[in-house]
Amino acid sequence: MGLPQKKEHSGAFDGDIGRRLEDAMRACDDAARMVLAQIAQDIAALHSDLKALAPQEITSRRIPAAGEELEAVVAATEAATHDIMQAAEGLLDACGDAEGAFADMVEGKATAIFEACTFQDITGQRIGKVIKTLKVIEDRLNASGIVKLAAAISDEQGAAAAKADDDNPPLEGPALKDGDGLKQNDIDDLLNDLF
C-alpha cells in the first residue's frame, strides 16, 4: 500500500474558482458602493434638513425674540390692568359721597372690574412658564450640538462658496470711482501672460 496520490487540479477548475471569487468580490464592491452612495445621500439630506431647520437662527434670534414678545405682552397687560384699576378707583372716588342705586351700581361695577383684572396675574404666570419652556428648548438645542453642527456645515459651505468665488471672480465692470478696480498695467500684464 502506498500513499494516496495527490490529485492535480486542472486549470479549468482553478479558473472557475477565480471567476467565482472575482464575481463575489465585484458583488461586494457593488454592494459597498450602493451602501456608501446611500450614506452620502443621507448625509446630504441631513445637511439640507439642518440648513432648513436653521438651529442657529432659532437659538440666536427666534427663541429670544419670542421670549421678548411674550415679555412685552406681560408688560402691556400689566400696564393696561393698572390703568383699568386706576380708572375704577377714580369712579369709586367720584361717587364716594353719592348714595342710592347709582352709588351701589358704580360700586358693584368697580368691584367687577377689580375682579376681572385678576386675569393679568394668571396670564402673567402662564406666559412666564412659556418663556421658561422656550429657554429650556434653547438651552437643549445649544447643548445637543445641533447648533454647532449646523454652524460647521454653514461655515464649510460658506468657505466652499468663497473659494469658488475666489477661483472665478465676478466681472464687475468699470470702477465707480478713481482708485477702484484694476489698473491698466495690471490688465496689460494679464494679457501679456496669456499670449
pLDDT at residue 107 above 80? yes
Residue 126, domain member (yes or no): yes
Range of 87's domain?
Answer: 28-159
Residue 5, domain member (yes or no): no
* Rounded mean pLDDT, 30-46: 81
Q: What is the pLDDT of residues 15-35, one digit of tens each?
A: 678 788 888 888 888 888 888
Residue 1, domain member (yes or no): no
Domains: count for the chain: 1
Residue 14, domain member (yes or no): no
Residue 175, domain member (yes or no): no
Residue 147, domain member (yes or no): yes
Q: What is the CATH number of the domain that holds 96?
A: 1.10.287
Residue 189, domain member (yes or no): no
Amino acid at 106: V
Residue 38, domain member (yes or no): yes
> pTM surpassing 0.85?
no
pLDDT at residue 162 above 60? no
> For residues 19 and 149, which has the higher predicted lDDT (pLDDT)?
19
Q: What is the pLDDT of residue 86?
A: 93
Q: What is the pLDDT of residue 185?
A: 74
